[in-house]
Amino acid sequence: MPRSSMRRPTPVGREDEVPRHRSQSDARAARKTPGRCPLCGAKVGRIKPGTRHARHCGACGGTLNKDITCPHCQTHRVWTGKRGRVCHGCGRTVDRR
């Protein structure tokens, strides 16, 4: 094949990329996904293969704080970190009081 007919693919711009899937029924679905950190969305590893998920995120340093109760859903599933406080049960941001 002649080199003139071989073209490099053009890079895709940020605006042309396919957006990540957003749930139509639940806007906070990404924060409630099991196995993901509700603060940064990174994958949370497991303690050992086939066991429960860890209670801390290696990417952002967020940890599960069972001492804090979510005022919206009344569960003890609040993750705290440098990015704030987020409930893994309902996906809402918890105020620092």
In a domain, 39, yes or no: yes
Phi-psi region of 91 (alpha: psi -120 to 50; beta: other; left: phi over 0): left
Look at 1-10, 29-38, 62-71, 88-97 and tell me which has the smallest mean pLDDT.
1-10
Report the distance separating Cα 50 and Cα 65, nearest Å. Answer: 23
Determine if the pTM surpasses 0.75.
no
b or e along 47-60 (b: 16 or more beta carbons within 10 Å of the residue's beta carbon)? eeeeeeeeeebeeb
Contact 62, 81 (CB under 8 A): yes
Is residue 18 in a domain?
A: no
**Within a domain: 87:** yes
Q: Which helix (H) or strand (E) holds 31?
A: helix 29-32
Domain hosting 40: range is: 27-97
Domain count, the chain: 1
pLDDT at 9: 57
Residue 4 located in a structural domain: no
pLDDT tens, position by position, 15-52: 444 456 666 667 788 888 889 999 999 999 999 888 99
